[in-house]
Structure 1
Amino acid sequence: MAELVGLVLAIPPTIDLCLKYGRELKSLCAGLRQADAQVSERVIRLDNNWMRFTHQLDFLKRIQHLMEDDHREILGQTLRVLLSKLEVVTDILHRLVKHQPMCPIVSHSVEVNAHRVRYILKKQSLDKAIEELETWQRTADQSWFLLLRIADSQVDLALKMPTDFETIDNKTHASTATAIPSTVTIRASRLQDTSYSSVSPETKLTFDAAELSKMLIQPIPFSHISTAQRVFGNGQVGVYFLNQIRCEPVAKYQVIKKDARDLARKLQHNDPYTFGLLACKGVAVPLSSSTDGPNRQAAPPATLTMVFRKPAHTTGTANSLRYLLTHTVPPKSLSLRFDYAKQLARSVSYVHTFGFVHKNIRPESILAFTSTRSDLPPQSLFLVGFENFRREDGSTQRLGDNTLERNLYRHSSRQGASPNEDYVMQHDIYSLGVCLLEIGFWRSFIRYHPQTGRAIPTEILPVSPHADVKQVNHFLHTQSKDFLLHLARNELPQYMGTRYTEIAETCLTCLDPDNQDFGDEREFQDEDGIRVGVRYIEKVVLRLDQLCV
Structure 2
Amino acid sequence: MSAELVLAVIAGADICLQYGKKLIRAYKDLKSANDIVTAKILIVDAFWSRTVLQVEFVKRVASTMGPEHCGIHIEVFEMLRSKLAIATARVDSLITDGGEVKKWRMPFVRSLLDDTIEQLEMWQRIFDPTWYLILRIGDKLIDSALSSEYETMNSINGTLEMQAVPSKTSTHTRVLSVARGLRKVMNPATKAKAHISLPDGGLDWEDAQSVLYSETRIIKRANSAKRYAVDTIDCRSGIDVTQLRADSESLARKLQQVDPETFGLLASYGIVKRKLPTKNQIASLNMIFSLPAESRTVRSLRQSLMRPQECSLSRVLRLARQLTEAISFIHTCEFVHKNIRPETILSFMDEESHNRAFGSTYLLGFDSFRNVNFHTMRGGDTAWERNLYRHPFRQGLLAHDKYTMQHDVYSLGVCLLEIGLWTSFIEYESNHSNIVEDITGPIPSNTLGLQVEDFKPRKAELLGPYNHIKDHLVELAKSRLPMRMGDKYTSVVITCLTCLDEGNEDFGDDCGMQDEDGVLVGVRFIEKVLLRLDGISF
Q: How does 1:307-456 map to 2 (within 5 A)?
A: 307-312=288-293, 314-327=294-307, 329-370=308-349, 379-450=359-430, 451=438, 453-456=440-443
- Secondary structure, in 3 states, of the residue corresponding to 2:233? strand
Partner of 1:129: 116
**Structure-1 residue corresponding to 2:177:** 181
Match of 2:434 in 1: none
Which residue does 2:83 correspond to in 1? 85
Which segment is superposed worse, 348-357 or 478-487? 478-487
> Structure 2: how far apart are the matches of 1:14 and 1:351?
28
Please name the residue that 1:226 is paired with: 217
Say whether the 8 Å CA contact 2:275–2:284 is kept in structure 1.
no
Q: Retained in 2: the 8 A contact 1:358–1:388? A: yes
- Describe the SS at the equivalent of 2:80: helix
Q: Shift of residue 46 of structure 1? A: 2.2
Counterpart of 1:209 (choices 200, 204, 207) is 200
Match of 1:55 among 49, 53, 62: 53
Q: Is the 8 A contact 1:159 1:177 kept in 2?
A: no
Which amino acid counterpart does residue 204 of structure 2 have in structure 1?
S
The residue that corresponds to 1:106 in the other structure is: none
1:165-209 alpha-carbon deviations (Å, 9 max, x no partner): 899989999xx99752221232223221344xxxx336x211122
Q: Which of 443, 453, 456 matches 1:473?
A: 456
Conserved? CA contact 2:323–2:363, under 8 Å: yes
Per-residue deviation at 1:6?
Answer: 3.2
> What is the CA-CA distance between 1:23 and the residue it aligns to?
2.9
Aligned counterparts of 1:162 and 1:334: Cα–Cα separation in 2: 39
- Unaligned 5+ residue runs, structure 2? 161-171, 431-437, 459-464
Alignment of 1:305 with 2:286, yes or no, is: yes
Alignment correspondent of 1:73: 71
CA distance in 2, matches of 1:21, 1:366: 39
Distance 2:442 2:34 in 1: 55
- Mapped partners of 2:311, 2:53: distance in 1: 39
Distance 1:26 1:291 in 2: 65
Report the alpha carbon displacement of residue 271 of structure 1 after superposing the two structures with TM: 1.2
**Cα distance change on mapping 1:127 and 1:215 into 2, 3 Å:** farther
Q: 1:45 to 1:318 in 2, by over 3 A?
A: farther
Match of 1:15 among 13, 32, 39: 13
Question: Helix, strand or coil for the counterpart of 1:409?
Answer: coil
26-35 or 37-46, larger mean C-alpha shift? 26-35
Paired residue type of 2:74: G
**Structure 2 vs 1, CA of residues 378 and 302 (structure 1 numbering), >3 Å: closer, same or farther?**
closer
Equivalent AA in structure 2 for residue 347 of structure 1: A
- 1:316-353 alpha-carbon deviations (Å, 9 max, x no partner): 312211111002x2245222222121111111111101
Q: CA deviation at 1:137?
A: 1.2
Instruction: Sort the Cα spacing of 1:378 and 1:325 in 2 relative to 1 into closer, same or farther, 3 A.
Output: closer
Conserved 8 A contact 1:246-1:304:
yes
Matching residue's letter, 2:210: P
Equivalent residues of 2:136, 2:332 under 8 A apart: yes
C-alpha displacement at 1:52, in angstroms? 1.9
Partner residue in 1 for 2:526? 537
* Structure 1: unaligned runs, 5 residues or longer: 102-111
Q: Could you tell me whether the CA contact under 8 Å between 2:186 and 2:254 is conserved in 1?
A: no
Q: Deviations over 1:505-542 (max 9, x none)?
A: 00000000111111111211211001111111111110
Indicate the larger mover: 430-439 or 471-480: 471-480
Structure 1 vs Structure 2 CA RMSD: 3.4
- Paired amino acid for 2:420: G
Partner of 1:484: 473
Structure 2 CA distance, aligned partners of 1:434 and 1:68? 30
Q: TM-score, normalised by structure 2?
A: 0.85
> Percent of aligned positions with the same letter in both sequences?
38
Native 8 Å contact 1:162 1:172 kept in 2? no
Give 1:250 deviation, angstroms.
4.3
Matches within 5 A, 1:231-270: 237-270=225-258
Tell me the TM-score normalized by structure 1.
Answer: 0.84
In structure 1, how many angstroms separate the alpha carbons of the residues matched to 2:413 and 2:181?
29
Summarize the Cα distance change of 1:316–1:30 in structure 2 as closer, same or farther, 3 Å threshold. farther
Tell me how far apart the structure 2 counterparts of residues 420 and 267 of structure 1 sit (CA, whole Å): 30
1:85-122 Cα deviation digits (max 9, x unpaired): 12333445556777857xxxxxxxxxx88x95944234
